[in-house]
A and B are shown apart, each in its own frame.
Chain A
Amino acid sequence: DAGVIQSPRHEVTEMGQEVTLRCKPISGHNSLFWYRQTMMRGLELLIYFNNNVPIDDSGMPEDRFSAKMPNASFSTLKIQPSEPRDSAVYFCASSLVRGGGTDTQYFGPGTRLTVL
């Protein structure tokens, strides 16, 4: 299995530009998570999808952030317009959630975003 795939691995953009991060979860998994990792705030859950439906987006910082999951094999996280404080590593993780709470999350390699 290829694991969770994220692209791009690195993104450098200027303030005000639109940024789109992409994720391909592990085949057969029914849940997808987007996280943001910064030195100051650690690892934060941004949004959780189950069966392609957003279940919990309470971690999305503000309206500039949006996420979609049009099908079971693809998700995007978009930032528009981007700001320097959005600079972070963004991780996508997938899991086969059975509702028990014990399900392992499998993380992608992350996208390092730098907003100048």
Chain B
Amino acid sequence: AQSVTQLGSHVSVSEGALVLLRCNYSSSVPPYLFWYVQYPNQGLQLLLKYTTGATLVKGINGFEAEFKKSETSFHLTKPSAHMSDAAEYFCAVSTPGTYKYIFGTGTRLKVLA
């Protein structure tokens, strides 16, 4: 069975500081991995996804994530936080040939001025 663990339900960073949101997955087969962002009172929006190929994936708004098979991780990073990055971030996993995403419980990012 697949699962996703997001470490830290709340993360605070100062504006301009590095953003690091952690995601670890469990999957018996090579996974597909996604990061979604949810701004207040909005639906989820895809930030980036890893399917195959290059393990460093770049997404929108300056975010990127690296797939590390040995660590079963897919952490999300951004070099410099902006106030507009304040939102909730969800990691999700799926497997080839399926339609179903398994979502993590989310990490709420707060950016301090």
Task: Please determine whether chains A and B interact with each other in the same assembly.
Answer: yes
Is there a chain B Cβ closer than 8 Å to A99's Cβ?
Answer: yes
Q: Are B103 and A97 in contact (CB under 8 A)?
A: no
Cα distance A91–B90 in the bound complex, in angstroms: 14
- Secondary structure at the B interface, as helix, strand, loop or mixed, is loop
**What residues on B are CB-neighbors of A14 within 8 Å?**
none
Is there a chain A Cβ closer than 8 Å to B83's Cβ?
Answer: no
CB distance from A41 to the nearest CB of B (A): 9
Cα distance A56–B49 in the bound complex, in angstroms: 24
Q: Are B43 and A56 in contact (CB under 8 A)?
A: no
Chain A stretch 98-116: residues in CB contact (< 8 A) with chain B: 99-110
| Residues in B lying within 8 Å of A, measured CB to CB | 32, 34, 36, 41-46, 49, 51, 90, 94-101, 103-106
Can you identify 14 A-B contacts, CB atoms within 8 angstroms? A42-B105, A43-B44, A43-B90, A45-B100, A45-B101, A50-B99, A91-B43, A93-B44, A99-B99, A101-B94, A101-B97, A102-B49, A107-B43, A110-B42
| Residues in A lying within 8 Å of B, measured CB to CB | 4, 31, 42-43, 45, 48, 50, 55-56, 91, 93, 95, 97, 99-110
